[in-house]
Amino acid sequence: MDEQLRTAAENGDIHALYRKLADDPYILDRIDHIPIVDTPLHVASVAGKPHFAMKVANLKPSLAWKLNHMGLSPIHLALQHKCIKMIEDPDLLAEFLSACPSSVEDTTVHCETAVHVAIRNGSIRCFKVLLGWLGRVDKEDVLNWKDEDGNTALHIAVSSGQTEASFDCFL
């Protein structure tokens, strides 16, 4: 990725993003053509810059479901790095999911969905947002998807003693 764009994503500098786009309006398109890549969304997710990430997702929604070399989408990275603003702010998470609804079906290289990752990281508020989203878009079947070890999100919640999440999975 272009170093100026990477720096803008790390710093959450939306003005620098627009300056870069003014200089090179196709930069996001070129990134989108790379099959496996860290996008500005990935970088902003790790850096905890949700407003920058949302701006990029609105400009180029397809980048939201790109996987990096570890098989992780931007939302998975936000969950793993406990970027609270990115993953536990219901409005931001809902906006992210609205910009890229299919990202809720993305899986990591370990066949984990964002729901698996939220439960593994103990992000109950995030889990509840995802659960609500799955219900709204009629994708509750994602809750039954198994990771590479054959565990659903419910299995993980029960085995780690997260009773609140376990109960919600049954509803």
For the chain, the domains span 1-82, 107-171
Distance of CA 135 to the CA centre of its chain: 18
Checking if the pLDDT of 77 tops 60, the result is yes
Q: Is 141 exposed, middle or buried (0-12, 13-18, 19+ CB in 10 A)?
A: exposed
Contact assessment for residue 113 and residue 79, using Cβ atoms and an 8 Å cutoff: no
Checking if the pLDDT of 107 tops 60, the result is yes
Which pair of tokens denotes residue 34? 């790379």
**Residue in this structure with the two tokens 């993980």, named with its chain if needed:** 156
Q: Identical fold at 1-82 and 107-171?
A: yes
pLDDT band at 24 (very low <50, low <70, confident <90, very high): very high
The CA distances from residue 66 to 23, 58, 71, in Å, are: 24, 14, 9
User: Which whole number is the average pLDDT over 116-123?
Assistant: 82
Q: 113: closest CA among 82, 151, 81?
A: 151
Which pair of tokens denotes residue 139? 């994708």
Q: 115: closest CA among 136, 87, 92?
A: 87
Instruction: Give the predicted TM-score (pTM) of the model.
Output: 0.64
Checking if the pLDDT of 42 tops 90, the result is yes
CATH topology of domain 1-82: 1.25.40
In the chain, the percentage of residues whose pLDDT exceeds 70 is: 89
Alpha-carbon gap, residue 166 to 70, rounded angstroms = 28
CATH topology of domain 107-171: 1.25.40
